[in-house]
Amino acid sequence: MQEFRMPRQEPATVSVGEPGTGGHLAAEGMSIKPKSFGRQTWDRFRRHRLAMIAFVILVLLIGSFWVVPFFSPFNSTDTNIPDMNQGITSKHPFGTDPLGRDLMIRTMEGAQVSIRIAAIVAVVSTAIGTLLGALAGYFGKWVDAIINQLINLILVVPAIVVLLVMGIKWGGSPNQTALLVAFISWIVIGRIVRGLFFQLKETEFVQAARAAGAGSGRIIFRHILPNAMGPILVQITLVSGSAIILESTLSFLGLGVVPPDTSLGKLISDSKGFIDTTPSRVLIPGAILTILVLCLNFLGDGLRDALDPATRKGRE
């Protein structure tokens, strides 16, 4: 008697049909693999045109701040009295100052200082704001009350007044100026993190970790904080732009960066008396400062849409 055998069936794979086939799914071909969260975030970010343009401009600008001085024959401290107070020339593309120093190199070095201050402010304010906001949001009660009173104490006086008073006493070097700006910049991040922790500490995965015996430190740093990193990353870009503006304001008023150091705000302050004769001395560092802040804001907007698709869909 002949043995009966069932026909062998090949495992089915799903694939997208070729263009022009009406989108029909083929029975064989390349299988579809789910994308990771990082890949999905990157795909959403690169579709944000303003954010991508801002990212490219930031990379080119910041790279030029460090690369251009290496190829220039001038130094920021070299004086040349015959060439003093020149406008834009082929020899000095940004002009010269009253001591004959090349303003292009001084602008590049001033931008380096402004970027360094923004980076320090972003790191310090994020660390302080995240820690205090996490403690206030997780523990609540008297811990939240104390931290809220500290925030209200700083907010009761306008930020610029606080910076002016502190700048008179402790301003001067770029690092000191950065710490002064960070002292008032952590508040925004702290309040955002506090609100996030109030929401996340009641979720199921936190309750499960607490039931499994996890301590407060592990729950804060291993369970809740990673889920709050999206809004924190967005705020880092916004705080960096605000730091550049606040540093420029202090330096313009003579309470921030002082010689021999320079910054974009200091360059504008030194050149304000020449706005009628050689306006490029004010407009060039001012334009660079404006572009940096705008790019950081657009970058933050793109990160927000990429990390929180619901926000993007709500605006469409």
DSSP 241-276: HHHHHHHHHHHHTTSS--TT---HHHHHHHHGGGTT
pLDDT value at residue 257:
79
pLDDT value at residue 93:
87
pLDDT value at residue 30:
52
Secondary element (H or E) of residue 26: strand 25-26
Does domain 53-68+103-315 fall under CATH 1.10.3430.10? My reply is: no
Beta strands in 66-154 (DSSP E): none
3-state secondary structure of 47: coil
Q: Residue ranges of the domains in the chain?
A: 53-68+103-315
CB neighbour list of residue 102: distance below 8 Å, 6 or more residues apart: 72, 74, 75, 76, 78, 92, 94, 96
- Which two three-digit tokens encode residue 132? 């205090």
pLDDT value at residue 154:
82
Half-sphere exposure of 254 (CA within 13 A, CB side): 3
From first to last of its 316 residues, the chain has per-residue pLDDT tens of 444 454 454 444 444 444 444 444 444 445 556 667 677 777 888 888 898 999 999 999 999 999 988 888 888 777 888 888 888 888 888 888 888 888 899 999 999 999 999 999 999 999 999 999 999 998 988 999 999 888 888 887 777 777 777 777 776 778 888 888 898 889 989 999 999 998 888 888 888 888 888 888 888 888 888 888 888 988 999 999 999 998 888 888 877 777 778 889 889 988 888 888 888 889 999 999 999 999 999 998 888 888 765 554 444 4
- Which two three-digit tokens encode residue 109? 């070095």
- Which residue carries 């430190």 as its tokens? 217
pLDDT value at residue 284:
92
Q: Is the distance from CB of 174 to CB of 261 less than 8 angstroms?
A: yes
pLDDT value at residue 155:
81
pLDDT value at residue 32:
56
Q: Is the distance from CB of 126 to CB of 239 less than 8 angstroms?
A: yes
3-state secondary structure of 96: strand
